[in-house]
Amino acid sequence: MSDSNIDSVLIENRKFEPSSEFASKARIQPADFAALHKKAEQDYTGFWAEQAHDLIDWQTLFNEILDDSNAPHFKWFADGKLNVSYNCLDRHLADKADKTAIIFEGEKGDIRKISYQQLTDEVSQFANALKAHGIEKGDRVVIYMPMTPEAVIAMQACARIGAIHSVVFGGFSAESLRDRINDAGAKMVITADGGTRGGKVVELKAATDKALDHDCPSIENVIVYQRTNHGANMQQGRDIWWHDAIAEQDTVCVPEWVESEHPLFLLYTSGSTGKPKGIQHSSAGYLLGAIATNLWVFDLQDDDVFWCTADVGWITGHTYVAYGPLAAGGTIVIYEGAPTVPDGGRFWKICQDHKVSIFYTAPTAIRALMKLGDELPNAYDLSSIRLLGTVGEPINPEAWMWYHKVIGKEKCPIVDTWWQTETGCNMIAPLPGVVATKPGSCTIALPGIDADVVDEDGNSITEPNKGGYLVIKKPFPAQLRTIWGDEQRYVDTYWPKFGGKYYLAGDSARKDADGYFWIMGRIDDVLNVSGHRLGTMEVESALVAHERVAEAAVVGYPHDVKGEAIFAYVVLRGVRPEGGIDEALTKELRNWVGEQIGPIAKPDQIRYADNLPKTRSGKIMRRLLRNIARGEEITSDTSTLENEDILLQLEGKA
């Protein structure tokens, strides 16, 4: 762990109690909160069994609770059977058939409202279409869609028949899509002709065609939802329009009852190596985490309108768009486009128009919108909002205060939720009616989550504000089950220390004197750009795949909107450009990385050197590169450098 991660620099003392108005109506009252914690402490597995019993509709009720005999491969509720889509849809039909499940708004302003009955029918019909095209329980289906209700319908339809979906963010490139299809061995891609973002068409079908063009043997069919209608090249025998696929299908589809541990989905995320990890989630444990946190942290109630702005391509869009709020019978908002179309007031207009009461977004979005000034949010009626949330990276206190004052009008609690693709649901977050918040802290762990900060030897750090490793000390139902096709990497990545006893989150953190958690950053080579994870190795691999690049090293540096930006040091084949400047090549390399991974991975800065700084044993001195990228004083001992002259090149001085 680098020293800069372990030293805590930020001390923030402001504390905000929940308003009495919010607290009096909150689902979880102080007494409930105490009871939940007490139960979880006294009888940990019994606590989760009780929650699973109360919150999930089972086809076959479980008897076994936790099987940890093969740790770190845990099984929860293993002898139970259920269907996730049934829990999100059918079970609400008795009393909520006409309730709006989804309010959709397209970037151009088109609006659609879908009731629970309609959603159930559409999911069932599409599930039948999947079956008609040979998709069976356990098959992998890749979903590469714009943020339209059909993305959720496709996910729910897979869940309904026990197929395992893997959603690939629409901003990822054809290459990224191909890698994920191949790793998952997917049989089908569900995509659209295109999506709309920032006034432009996102060429989803064209990218799919490119991905399938070669070396993609497992795909049998592509289902294409018609969204942009700008023309798509349909390959006969392989490609089918969504509307044709459902045309003859019945709107009733009996759910496939699956075992609790049946994989619900894979979701690829970045790690320390160049190859993304297919995080595998279970059915029951994941669903339980999704429902419980929607109720506890988001206080989701019957008349709420919940808008989580995340794309379904990320875990946040799985748990707080596609599954959790629906399983809890809520109404969600889905918006397809960019936050700045036609101007930076779009989010606030949507909140006003659809009477959003719970709003959940990322600090990077808050900072970007904050920069545009208060006039935009002030021009809209935001009085429907009663709860705000953030996720993805630590929120800086300035952005927190702006969110609190300008959006929340000082009456809405802010739930800063710490969690990961791997944990499936919120882990450390306030219960908004009970726990006082502090700007920049995700507060305390949820009931049933045993989070702690430990030192190198796995001992709890009791000294306030001293940094260490963030760990989870007990298994929990919603955690990942494995990395698809790579058990060893699962064990090595998440259980490498402390005798394999604690789940290692990969973040450093500290606890203050009140026991509040403050996340300090990653301990591995994972960047957090605009709340999205990217491995430095992934970007490096993309760079060296370019014919002109011999070697590359990538580090992160602070950025006032994105949180972290990417700095790449590149050694070219042949001669280094004069003075280290070649704007045309820099542009080409940035676009190249964009094509290899996706636009979010484009390096913000590229610097050319004759060599990378290496120790005599050949290790790249990353700390040195980080210091330079951040404009900090160089703390490394540069005397071990093989070639001290390149320091000037790296610093941009030669």
x-marked contacts with ligand WTA along 466-505 as a string, rule CB under 6 A: ---------------------------------------x
Output 171 or 194, the one with its CB closest to ligand WTA: 171
User: Does position 309 bind ligand WTA by CB under 6 A?
Assistant: no
User: Does position 506 bind ligand WTA by CB under 6 A?
Assistant: yes
User: Does position 311 bind ligand WTA by CB under 6 A?
Assistant: no
Are residues 531 and 391 in contact, defined by beta-carbon separation less than 8 angstroms?
yes
Are residues 332 and 318 in contact, defined by beta-carbon separation less than 8 angstroms?
no
User: Does position 173 bind ligand WTA by CB under 6 A?
Assistant: no
H/E stretch holding 509:
strand 503-511
Output 203 or 538, the one with its CB closest to ligand WTA: 538
User: Does position 519 bind ligand WTA by CB under 6 A?
Assistant: yes
Q: Alpha-carbon torsion 128, 134, 139, 141, what sign?
A: negative
For the bound state, the minimum distance from the C-beta of residue 418 to ligand WTA, rounded and expressed in Å, comes to 4
User: Does position 352 bind ligand WTA by CB under 6 A?
Assistant: no
Q: Alpha-carbon torsion 565, 569, 573, 577, what sign?
A: positive
DSSP string for residues in 379-400 = TS--TT--EEEEESSPPPHHHH
Output 308 or 646, the one with its CB closest to ligand WTA: 308
For the bound state, the minimum distance from the C-beta of residue 396 to ligand WTA, rounded and expressed in Å, comes to 11
Are residues 150 and 252 in contact, defined by beta-carbon separation less than 8 angstroms?
no
Output 131 or 522, the one with its CB closest to ligand WTA: 522
Phi first, then psi, for residue 20 (nearest 5°) are -65, -30
Stretch that binds ligand WTA, among 38-46, 289-297, 412-420, 582-590 (CB under 6 A): 412-420
Q: Going by C-beta distance under 8 Å and a sequence separation of 6 or more, which residues neighbour residue 375?
A: none
Describe the chain by its helix, strand, coil percentages, rounded to 5: 35, 25, 45
Residue choice 77, 104, 126, 418 for contact with ligand WTA (CB under 6 A): 418
Output 467 or 506, the one with its CB closest to ligand WTA: 506
User: Does position 419 bind ligand WTA by CB under 6 A?
Assistant: yes
Which residue has 């702005």 as its token pair?
A: 309
Residue choice 187, 277, 474, 522 for contact with ligand WTA (CB under 6 A): 522
Output 224 or 288, the one with its CB closest to ligand WTA: 288
User: Does position 208 bind ligand WTA by CB under 6 A?
Assistant: no
Stretch that binds ligand WTA, among 284-292, 388-396, 489-497, 634-642 (CB under 6 A): 388-396
Axis-axis angle for helices 536-544, 583-596 (nearest 10): 120
x-marked contacts with ligand WTA along 210-249 as a string, rule CB under 6 A: ----------------------------------------
Output 361 or 596, the one with its CB closest to ligand WTA: 361
Can you list the pairs that 580-583 forms with residues at least 24 positions away whose Cβ atoms lie under 8 Å?
580/607, 580/608, 580/609, 580/649, 580/652, 580/654, 581/608, 582/608
For the bound state, the minimum distance from the C-beta of residue 369 to ligand WTA, rounded and expressed in Å, comes to 18
Output 328 or 472, the one with its CB closest to ligand WTA: 472
Cα separation, 446 vs 241, whole angstroms: 44
x-marked contacts with ligand WTA along 421-450 as a string, rule CB under 6 A: x--------------------x--------
H/E stretch holding 607:
strand 605-608
Beta-ladder partners of 112: 104
Cα separation, 118 vs 102, whole angstroms: 10
Nearest to 636 by CA among 1, 6, 2, 10: 2
Residue choice 316, 331, 536, 627 for contact with ligand WTA (CB under 6 A): 316
Stretch that binds ligand WTA, among 132-140, 282-290, 313-321, 489-497 (CB under 6 A): 313-321
Token pair for 562? 């994105």
User: Does position 417 bind ligand WTA by CB under 6 A?
Assistant: yes
Output 51 or 421, the one with its CB closest to ligand WTA: 421
Which residue has 């740790």 as its token pair?
A: 71
Helices (H), 297-391: 315-317, 324-327, 346-353, 363-371, 375-378
User: Does position 391 bind ligand WTA by CB under 6 A?
Assistant: yes
Token pair for 54? 């109360």
Output 77 or 517, the one with its CB closest to ligand WTA: 517
Helices (H), 511-615: 536-544, 583-596
Is cis: bond before 342, omega within 30 of 0? yes
For the bound state, the minimum distance from the C-beta of residue 569 to ligand WTA, rounded and expressed in Å, comes to 24
Nearest to 543 by CA among 580, 572, 565: 572
Output 310 or 609, the one with its CB closest to ligand WTA: 310
User: Does position 533 bind ligand WTA by CB under 6 A?
Assistant: yes
Are residues 312 and 295 in contact, defined by beta-carbon separation less than 8 angstroms?
no
User: Does position 362 bind ligand WTA by CB under 6 A?
Assistant: no
Output 415 or 571, the one with its CB closest to ligand WTA: 415
For the bound state, the minimum distance from the C-beta of residue 114 to ligand WTA, rounded and expressed in Å, comes to 26
Output 35 or 436, the one with its CB closest to ligand WTA: 436
User: Does position 285 bind ligand WTA by CB under 6 A?
Assistant: no
Residue choice 239, 393, 525, 595 for contact with ligand WTA (CB under 6 A): 393
Half-sphere exposure of 162 toward its Cβ, with a 13 Å CA cutoff?
Answer: 15
Chain length of the chain: 654
Are residues 616 and 640 in contact, defined by beta-carbon separation less than 8 angstroms?
yes
For the bound state, the minimum distance from the C-beta of residue 99 to ligand WTA, rounded and expressed in Å, comes to 28
Helices (H), 447-576: 487-494, 536-544
Residues that bind ligand WTA (CB under 6 A): 269, 314-316, 391-394, 416-421, 442, 505-507, 519, 522, 528, 533
